[in-house]
Structure 1
């Protein structure tokens, strides 16, 4: 899940820097952008963030439907969802590699829609896996808990290493995504696809190993 948090940083860098200031993982950002854009006094986009927001909701809803009845933790349904995320990222990266120079109507909005959908599905699956403080798409609550429960806050025991890693990895993911965009949009997609695929393979193998041990 920490690896997927890194991948989300890449995807959000793609959305914000290459898809006209659209957040495809961090929906709070889109809601704020929409609020400001609705004043009509800014040059902020409306269609892209709105499409990403709606598709994120749809992705999370359909993933929740697929996960219905599945046990908490990694399950076959989780594997299907993360495989779908990896495939969609790969196909979108391939599309930009092949057709990136071709201008066609609503290319940005279509790309944001796909990314919003898969990030919603990923977030729903991450909730089912249930790694505390690691939603893979946002770190606001993680950062709040890290500060509030620190030695200078409530002074309670906390999994601070995991929380620090979650915040750091989404930062590094955004850094990597921004850097790779200078090489090519498809390269950023390729790295996010590779990370998601690695998580998919390792998670599925672990599930199989645990099933065999239980059997």
Structure 2
């Protein structure tokens, strides 16, 4: 499969993992959102208005952790860019995110999960902050893996564009006329929702399994990126010119 296609599929998997992480945080860590900061800030504001100290603390920790993740990823990425935004530094950020999610999963299924709930919130939020920053740097189809609002707005814009084209094009030829990015943006919304549904079902019936799926998804994306990088290095060694 083409390497660029693998990167696009990886972005969709990142969207799914973000949706699952938000469900796990909301259902398992006291109704806090660790990926969707728009929703988290709304919850923070409501908690402040109602003087709900513990809810304020959880939401505030998620916000601080997310910002820290943004900063860590930005520092790791630096100003180096590739043509499509995917570089060894991007892979390094995903590696750190994988480690954070792995640590979260281990602690979440341990007997100490309840006393360590605040630490678990921070771990998830840092991981999602890193993912958000690196997704922005990759810049595939304008997809944000954690901000569904932007993706949904882009899908609506694509739909309006389709309606305009219907006036001048045959319906049968329309699917071919649509860009790959349009399909990706729609897919990002659908797979995010799918991740939410799957995580909600699993967390209700098999919570010990649900926490491991985001770990496996991010680890798989990281491994794929590293494998592709090794392939490119081997190719350069064989064909130095």
Q: TM-score, normalised by structure 1?
A: 0.88
Which has the greater radius of gyration?
2
User: Partners of 1:202 and 1:182 in 2: how far apart?
Assistant: 31
- Any residues of structure 2 matched to 1:5-154 within 5 Å, and which? 5-40=15-50, 45-72=55-82, 73-99=85-111, 103-104=114-115, 107-151=116-160
Q: TM-score, normalised by structure 2?
A: 0.79
User: Partners of 1:58 and 1:154 in 2: how far apart?
Assistant: 42
User: Partners of 1:43 and 1:178 in 2: how far apart?
Assistant: 26
Does 1:165 pair with 2:177?
no
By how many angstroms is 1:22 displaced? 0.7
User: Cα RMSD over matched residues?
Assistant: 2.3
Residue ranges of structure 2 left out of the alignment (5+ in a row)? 1-10, 166-177
Residues 210 and 114 of structure 1: CA distance in aligned 2, closer, same or farther (over 3 Å)? same
**SS of the residue aligned with 1:133?**
coil
Contact 1:81–1:125, Cα closer than 8 Å, also in 2: yes
User: Partners of 2:156 and 2:87 in 1: how far apart?
Assistant: 33
Contact 2:141–2:182, Cα closer than 8 Å, also in 1: no
Instruction: Render the CA deviation track for 1:4-51: whole Å, top value 9, x for unaligned.
Output: 110111100001111111111100001111122221177992111111
Residue 185 of structure 1: aligned partner:
207
Q: Which structure's residues are more often helix, by fraction? A: 2
User: Partners of 1:103 and 1:133 in 2: how far apart?
Assistant: 38
Aligned residues: 212
Residues 191 and 41 of structure 1: CA distance in aligned 2, closer, same or farther (over 3 Å)? same
